[in-house]
Amino acid sequence: MTEETPITTAQRLQPQLVAHFMHLIADHRLAHAYLFNGMDGTGRQALAETVALRLFCQNVGADGRPCGQCTECRRIMAGDHPDVVKVVPDGQRIKVDQVRYLKSEFTKSAVEGNQKIFIIDQMERMTTGAANSLLKFIEEPVGNTVALLLTANKNLILPTILSRTQIVDLLPVPASKLATALEAAGVAPSQRYLLATLTESVTAANDLVADDWLGTAQTSIEHWFTACCQGDERAFVRVQTELVPLAANRDRQRLVLDMIVQIWHDALRQQSQEVAAADLAYPQVAQASRQIAQRLPTDRLLAILTLTLDTPGQLAGNLNFQNILEALTLEILTQIAR
């Protein structure tokens, strides 16, 4: 089997965008700053690297794509090209020293030619201050510079950054393809729909089901949800005893919040029509979510869902995870009791 490269990955996942960017480069119409918005598994990194490869490739093919074989292409794919600057989070955040390095590189001209490209992945993990400090370099690049900012959620990116970049929304992986891939990977039927809402990558899905983390989280959120639906104040206790222990780091905290959004979304979907249990993120509590959907008026159910949707932004604003969940639980119990 031929080994997949960034070029073949991007072509498989985002063929239209690959063709679009190859034409832009050929016509010398590439802008100086883009934001690639796409969940894990959509090929945002592969697309960014393909753009970089095309800019430096010494043997562009008849189809307009980089060859992937020349010296320049091999150096870029090996992470060994001085004019292709890549930054990924070091841990949970893009650290201060990484930002200093970026700012230093932004002020320098290309080392080997007249072209320089920056690829900054997971921009949502850059602090507000750090992102703001890069604004002037994005607005006024030195020389022939291109910045590709990558994110899984553009809603967590500063408006000032959004307004100064061209936003490129990557096509999602078709649900049917992901479901088939998850089935082939041995993922339990009760977890497939939920995983499809959390990621578009089979690799990421496998990481979540490893050691049964997802199953444990699913069950804990179901317990919390059922207590909320019953107006049981022990839902507040379950935050500390069951939900908080699930999230040892920022990534898992974000996932728990996303999973909570999905359980209330199940309820909303069941308010207007009957949904098969297999098409719910939480099939085990399908009856409870259907009952709360029938009991609450639409505006109150929407209010609860809106509360859950606000929580990832609160986490990005560095609010304490337990405090976010406890405040959310109290608000939901208030809505239920009205």
Query: In terms of domains, do 21 and 134 share one?
Result: yes
CA distance linking residue 72 with residue 94, whole number of Å:
27
Query: In terms of domains, do 134 and 205 share one?
Result: no
The residues, any chain, with a CB within 8 Å of residue 228's CB and separated by 6 or more, are: 235, 329, 332, 333, 336
Query: In terms of domains, do 204 and 163 share one?
Result: no
Nearest Cα to Cα of residue 268 among 293, 285, 291: 293
Based on the structure, what is the number of domains in the chain? 2
Question: Is 1 contained in some domain?
Answer: no
**Are 68 and 77 contacting, i.e. CB atoms less than 8 angstroms apart?**
yes
**Are 111 and 143 contacting, i.e. CB atoms less than 8 angstroms apart?**
no
Partnered with residue 87 across adjacent β-strands are 120
Query: In terms of domains, do 179 and 163 share one?
Result: no
Domain boundary among 169, 192, 214: 169
Query: In terms of domains, do 218 and 312 share one?
Result: yes
Expressed as residue numbers, the domain containing 164 is 6-169
Give me the torsion for CA of 37, 43, 46, 50, rounded to 10°: -70
Query: In terms of domains, do 163 and 180 share one?
Result: no
Query: In terms of domains, do 240 and 162 share one?
Result: no
Question: Is 181 contained in some domain?
Answer: yes
Q: Which pTM value belongs to this model?
A: 0.63
Domain boundary among 114, 147, 169: 169
Query: In terms of domains, do 91 and 46 share one?
Result: yes
CATH number for position 87: 3.40.50.300
The structure tokens listed for 246 are 């699930």
- Alpha helix segments (H runs only) across the chain: 6-13, 15-26, 44-56, 71-77, 96-106, 128-139, 159-162, 175-184, 189-198, 202-209, 213-229, 234-238, 250-272, 286-295, 298-316, 321-337
The tens place of each residue's pLDDT in the chain, 338 residues long, gives 346 789 998 998 899 999 999 999 999 999 999 999 998 778 899 999 999 999 999 999 999 999 999 999 999 999 999 999 999 887 667 877 888 888 888 888 888 888 999 999 989 888 777 888 888 888 887 778 999 999 988 888 888 889 999 999 998 877 667 777 788 778 888 888 888 888 777 777 888 888 889 999 999 999 999 999 999 999 999 999 999 999 988 889 999 999 999 999 999 999 878 888 888 899 999 999 999 999 999 999 999 999 998 898 888 777 899 999 999 999 999 999 87
Question: Is 220 contained in some domain?
Answer: yes
